[in-house]
Amino acid sequence: MHRFLKTALAACAFALAATPALAGNATKDEAVAMVKKGIAYIKANGTEKGYAEIDNKGGPFVDRDLYLTVYGMDGKCLAHGANAKMIGKNLMELTDVDGKYFVKERVALVQATPTGVWQDYKFTNPVSKKVEPKAMYCEKLGETAVCGGVYR
């Protein structure tokens, strides 16, 4: 029995170590890929279904600390993979801990570079629950910005 327990524990430890979803923070490449995947999904399925999937914390657009958000060009949050309380709110005047108007800046950046742009700011990591530096990648889709970021 004791040998069986040791073997079972070792197998569990190996399985956890080999599970990519538990392996640290997302990368910039993963963020870009997820934004592109989200845009493709919205184009194929429409905004209603697309935003619902982005909002789904157990869905395909949430992976570790990486999740998608969608903003209207007016700053209104249309979808949010980590915080449903943000949906429907105008976040244009939202600032990070350093006083940076990151949504306002994000919208301006996406309007200037619709094919993809990175933005740095600080935000609460949903995994660690701590405010951390974050790099957000966004692309313009119609009159929206589809974004996904990585914590550093």
Q: Which of 24-28, 102-106, 108-112, 135-139 has the lowest average pLDDT?
A: 24-28
Contact 135, 118 (CB under 8 A): yes
Residue 12 pLDDT > 60: no
Name every residue whose Cβ is closer than 8 Å to that of residue 126 and which is 6 or more positions away in sequence. 65, 67, 82, 83
pTM of the model: 0.83
Residue 5 pLDDT > 70: no
Instruction: Say how far apart CA 149 and CA 132 lie, in whole Å.
Output: 12
pLDDT at 23 (0 to 100):
55
The residue ranking higher by pLDDT, 3 or 119, is 119
Ordered by start, the domain boundaries in the chain are: 26-151
Contact 65, 26 (CB under 8 A): yes
Residue 41 belongs to what H/E stretch?
helix 28-55
Residue 21 pLDDT > 80: no
pLDDT at 4 (0 to 100):
38
pLDDT at 100 (0 to 100):
97
Give per-residue pLDDT as tens, 116-148. Answer: 999 999 999 888 999 999 999 999 999 999 999
Tokens 């538990």 belong to residue: 22
55 conformational bin, left if phi > 0, alpha if psi -120 to 50, beta if neither: alpha
- The class that CATH gives domain 26-151 is alpha beta
pLDDT at 45 (0 to 100):
98
Name every residue whose Cβ is closer than 8 Å to that of residue 45 and which is 6 or more positions away in sequence. 53
